[in-house]
């Protein structure tokens, strides 16, 4: 009988031997989805977030980029949480996830206050572009 679910694993479980060069290492990483892949993903999202902060003019979009950075961190935390769950047989396994929840909470608080400032600012200056916000007072 055909088991649809076994085809893909077979395809993906092609192990490379002795990862010595960069290419091999990359290949090995790609075919074994482990914590490293999560970390790379998280790193990429982080970098994208940083790029957003650096290049955008709209304060709100900058805020969103910061949320993206925090989200990248969260991926890290959750991945490590799972990793430790398996490594330590369940001891302290949920701390990463709990920390993630705290990060989300703090992100929410940050967004609330930040957006409050944006609204207050917009009411005075009618703009949300950072390059027009260059004075400490108005």
Partner 1 sequence: MLEYLFFFTAPTWFSSLPILKDYIDPMVLDYLVWPLVQIGLLLFVVLTLVAYLTLAERKISAWIQVRIGPNRVGPEGLLQPLADGIKLLLKEDLIPLKADREVFIIAPIIAMVAALVALAVIPWGAAWATISNIDIGLLFILAVSSLGVLGIILGGWASNSKYSLLGALRSAAQMVSYEVAMGLALIGALMFTKTLALQDMVITQERLHIWNILFQPLGFLIYLISGIAETNRAPFDLPEAESELVAGYHTEYSGFRFSLFFIAEYANMLIVSAIAVTVFLGGWYLPGLSYLFTPGSTFFVLASIGVFGLKTLALLYLFFWIRWSLPRYRYDQLMELSWKWMIPAALANIMLTATFLVLGQELALIVSQNNMLEISTLGYVFLISTAFIVTVPLTWIMLGQINKNSRDFNLREVQPLPMNRTINK
Partner 2 sequence: MKLVGLEAVLFYLLAVVAILFAIFMITARSAVHSALLLISTLVATAGLYLLVHAEFVAGVQILIYVGGVLVLFIFVIMLVNAKEEDNKMFTRQLLIGGALTFFLGLGIIAILLQTQKGNFFTLASPAPPKIEQAQNNPNLSPSHNISQNTIKIGQELYTKTVLPFEIASLVLLVAIIGAVRLARERKQEKIYD
Partner 3 sequence: MDLIWLIPILPLLGFLINGLLARRFNFSEKLVGGVAVATVFLAFVLSVTAFVNYSAWSKQPENQAKPYISKTLNYTWISGGKAFISSNTTPITPENSLVDLNIQWAYQIDHLSVLYALFVTFVGLLIHIFAIGYMHGQTGFGRFFAYLNLFMFMMLTLVLGSNLLMTFVGWEGVGLCSYLLIGFYMTHKEAAEASKKAFIINRIGDLGFILAIIGVFSTFGTLEYQEIARLVQNYPVEALGTFGIMSFIALGLFIGATGKSAQFPLYIWLPDAMAGPTPVSALIHAATMVTAGVYLLARMNFVFQRSLVMMLIIAIIGSLTAFVAATIAITQKDIKKILAYSTISQLGFMFLGCGVGAFVAGVFHVITHAFFKAQLFLGAGSVIHAMNNEQDITRMGGLKKYLPITHKTMVVSWLAICGIAPLAGFWSKDEILAKTFSTTLFHPAIGKMLWFLGFLTAGITAFYMTRLMALTFWSEQKFLGQTASDGGEEESNQEANKNIDQKNDGGSFKIRAVTPSTTNTEAISNTTEATTNDIGSFNIEESKDKAERINLNPPIVSALVADPKESPSIMTLPLIVLAFFAAVAGFIGLPVGYNWIETWLSPVINSFTLHAFGTVDIILALVTMAWSGTMAYAAYHIYVKNPHIAEDLAIKLKPFYQLSTNKWYWDDLLDVKLASLINKFNDLLGEADKHGVDAIPNGSALITRGVSILSGSMDRYGLDLLVNLTGWFTRAGSVLVRTFQTGFLNNYALVMVVGLVLIIIGLEYQAIQELYSQYFPAIPKIIATPAPK
What residues numbered 59-98 form the site for partner 3, per CB under 8 A? 59, 62
Task: Please choose which of partner 1, partner 3, partner 2, none residue 86 contacts, taking the beta carbon within 5 to 8 angstroms, the exact cut-off set by kind.
Answer: partner 2
Q: Which residues pair with 58 in a beta bridge?
A: 129
Read off the DSSP letter of residue 58.
B
Q: Which two tokens stand for residue 55?
A: 């290049």
Q: Does 41 bind partner 3 (CB under 8 A)?
A: no
Tell me: does residue 9 bind partner 1 (CB under 8 A): no
Lookup: tokens for 100: 């993630």
10 binds partner 1 (CB under 8 A): no
Identify whether the C-beta of residue 135 lies closer than 8 Å to the C-beta of residue 102: no
Shortest Cβ 137–partner 1 spacing (Å): 31
Of 14, 38, 39, the C-alpha closest to 27 is 14
Strand partners, 129: 58
Q: Could you tell me the smallest distance in angstroms from the CB atom of residue 21 to partner 1? A: 33
Q: Return phi, psi of residue 72, to 5°.
A: -60, -40
Q: Which stretch binds partner 3 (CB under 8 A): 7-15, 50-58, 76-84, 118-126?
A: 50-58
Pattern 23-62, partner 2, x by CB under 8 A: --xx--x--xxxxxxxxxx-xxxxxxxxxx-xxxxx-xx-
């Amino acid at each position: 009988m055909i088991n649809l679910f076994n085809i893909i694993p077979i395809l993906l479980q092609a192990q490379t031997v002795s990862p010595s060069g960069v290419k091999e290492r990359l290949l090995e990483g790609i075919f074994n989805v482990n914590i490293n892949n999560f970390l790379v993903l998280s790193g990429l999202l982080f970098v994208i977030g940083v790029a957003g902060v650096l290049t955008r003019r709209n304060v709100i979009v900058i805020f969103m980029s910061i949320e993206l950075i925090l989200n990248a961190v969260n991926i890290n935390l959750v991945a490590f949480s799972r990793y430790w769950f398996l490594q330590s047989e369940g001891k302290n396994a949920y701390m990463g996830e709990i920390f993630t929840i705290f990060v989300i909470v703090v992100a929410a608080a940050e967004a609330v206050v930040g957006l409050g400032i944006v609204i207050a600012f917009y009411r005075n200056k009618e703009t949300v572009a950072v390059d027009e916000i260059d004075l400490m007072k108005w």
